[in-house]
């Protein structure tokens, strides 16, 4: 895909998710990754174990109320592990609908793959022939950003506001029980900056914080909106509301000072 086509796609994605927010019946697909390293045969033991894993993760008794579950099926060398993570502001109904669709889509998009990950606005699902539980994974991150940039005169001030707000959210998330945090900060022209960060709850607090700071460091702060997805955590900011404020306790920050200054990104 050309750079122009990529920019157009990213703009249309942000526009459409603003105008047509996803519902329980229509999780919004974002990205998928097929490792393409090794494959399994359709009638193999690994295939049977994978079906068992899908049944566990998408069952009526799965942990949709907490938004996270991991599971393991089978014995080595055909063991398969997997997990799902639903966005911290979605309802159990939305979570279940997203996970169910993810199971169907990941099989269609990555047929016979021994490892794959799929992302929606509302959830993430991954599986592997390696143990993915409690293991920090920051590789294969996927960056998205809006093609519209902040006005040149406001770039430094916006980057400072966005990066500072996101880092504060990262520290708060890593010290919370759910590894999830949203924040809202006042921007110029009566606009609000909305921020969301989240880790998989099986990480240690240190790994969650490391993952989030690395994720935030990879965002494109020249853009008016950006997100970075990885298997262990994700981060996002926008100048529009993209999460359900009624389902979370969003911290509201005061507007930035008028004087512009620059702040280095987190490392």
pLDDT at 254 over 60: no
d(CA 45, CA 75): 9
Whole-model pTM? 0.84
Check residue 247 and give its pLDDT.
76
Residue 59 has pLDDT above 80, yes or no: yes
Which two three-digit tokens encode residue 67? Answer: 């938004």
Q: Are residues 117 and 150 in the same domain?
A: no
108 SS3 class: helix
63/110 same-domain check: yes
* CB-based contact 188:162 (threshold 8 Å): no
Does 114 map to a domain?
yes
Instruction: Based on the fold, state whether residues 44 and 123 are members of the same structural domain.
Output: yes
Question: Does 28 fall in a domain?
Answer: yes
Q: Degrees (nearest 5) of the Cα angle 138, 139, 144?
A: 85
* CA distances, 76 to each of 46, 83, 108, 130, 133 (Å): 10, 18, 25, 10, 16
| Cβ(72)–Cβ(55) below 8 Å | no
Tell me the sheet residues that pair with 227: 144, 236
One domain, residues 104 and 193: no
Sheet containing strand 192-199, edge to edge, reads: 142-145, 226-229, 233-238, 192-199, 180-186, 251-253
Whether residue 7 is contained in a domain is answered as no
Name the domain boundary from 128, 162, 185: 128
Same domain? For 148 and 240 the reply is yes
The dihedral built from the CA positions of residue 120, 125, 127 and 132, taken in this order, carries a sign that is positive
Q: Which residues pair with 84 in a beta bridge?
A: 69, 125
**Residue at 196 is within a domain:** yes
Of 74, 98, 128, the one marking the end of a domain is 128
> What is the rounded average pLDDT of the residues 167-187?
97
Residue 55's domain comprises: 20-128
Q: What average pLDDT does range 248-258 have in this prediction?
A: 58
d(CA 145, CA 10): 6
Give which of 194, 193, 230, 226 is closest to 215, Cα–Cα: 230
Instruction: Flag whether pLDDT at 62 surpasses 70.
Output: yes
CA 175 to mean position of chain CA atoms: 18
Examine residue 266 and state whether it is found in any structural domain, yes or no: no
Residue 8 within any structural domain of the chain: no
- Classify residue 260: in a domain, yes or no: no
Whether 26 and 102 map to the same domain: the answer is yes
CA distance linking residue 242 with residue 238, whole number of Å: 7
Q: Which of 65, 100, 128 is the last residue of a domain?
A: 128
Confidence band, pLDDT 50/70/90 cuts, at residue 250? low
Q: Helix 92-109 vs helix 45-57: angle between axes, to the nearest 10 degrees?
A: 160
Upstream peptide bond of 255 is cis (omega within 30 degrees of 0): no
Q: How far apart are CA 110 and CA 75, in angstroms?
A: 22
What band does 25 get if pLDDT is binned at 50, 70 and 90? Answer: low
Mean pLDDT of 231-257: 81
* Number of domains, the chain: 2
55 within domain boundaries: yes
Q: For residue 135, give the nearest of 191, 200, 40, 195 by alpha carbon.
A: 200
Q: What percent of the chain has pLDDT over 90?
A: 78
User: Which CA distances in Å does 134 have to 154, 196, 199, 206, 245?
Assistant: 40, 22, 11, 12, 29
CATH code, domain with 150: 3.30.430.20
pLDDT digits (tens, 9 = 90+) for 108-130: 999 999 999 999 999 999 999 99
pLDDT at 156 over 50: yes
Are 216 and 238 found together in one domain? yes
């Amino acid at each position: 895909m050309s750079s122009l086509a990529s920019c157009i796609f990213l703009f249309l994605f942000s526009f459409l998710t603003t105008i047509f927010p996803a519902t329980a019946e229509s999780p919004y697909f974002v990205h998928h990754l097929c490792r393409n390293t090794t494959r399994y045969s359709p009638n193999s033991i690994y295939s049977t174990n994978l079906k068992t894993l899908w049944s566990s993760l998408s069952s009526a008794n799965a942990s949709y109320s907490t938004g996270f579950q991991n599971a393991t099926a089978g014995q080595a060398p055909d063991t398969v592990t997997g997990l799902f993570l639903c966005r911290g502001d979605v309802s159990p109904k939305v979570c279940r609908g997203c996970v169910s669709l993810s199971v169907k889509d990941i099989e269609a998009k990555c047929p016979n793959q021994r490892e794959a990950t799929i992302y929606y606005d509302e959830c993430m699902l991954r599986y592997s022939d390696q143990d993915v539980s409690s293991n920090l994974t920051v590789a294969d991150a996927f960056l998205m950003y809006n093609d519209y940039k902040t006005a040149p005169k406001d770039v430094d001030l916006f980057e400072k506001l966005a990066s500072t707000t996101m880092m504060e959210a990262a520290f708060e998330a890593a010290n919370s029980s759910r590894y999830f945090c949203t924040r809202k900060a006042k921007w110029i022209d009566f606009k609000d900056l909305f921020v969301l960060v989240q880790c998989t709850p099986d990480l240690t607090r240190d790994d969650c914080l490391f993952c989030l700071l690395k994720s935030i460091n990879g965002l494109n702060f020249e853009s008016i909106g950006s997100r970075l997805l990885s298997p262990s955590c994700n981060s996002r900011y926008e100048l529009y509301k993209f999460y359900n404020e009624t389902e979370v306790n969003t911290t509201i920050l005061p507007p930035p000072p008028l004087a512009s200054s620059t702040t280095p990104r987190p490392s």
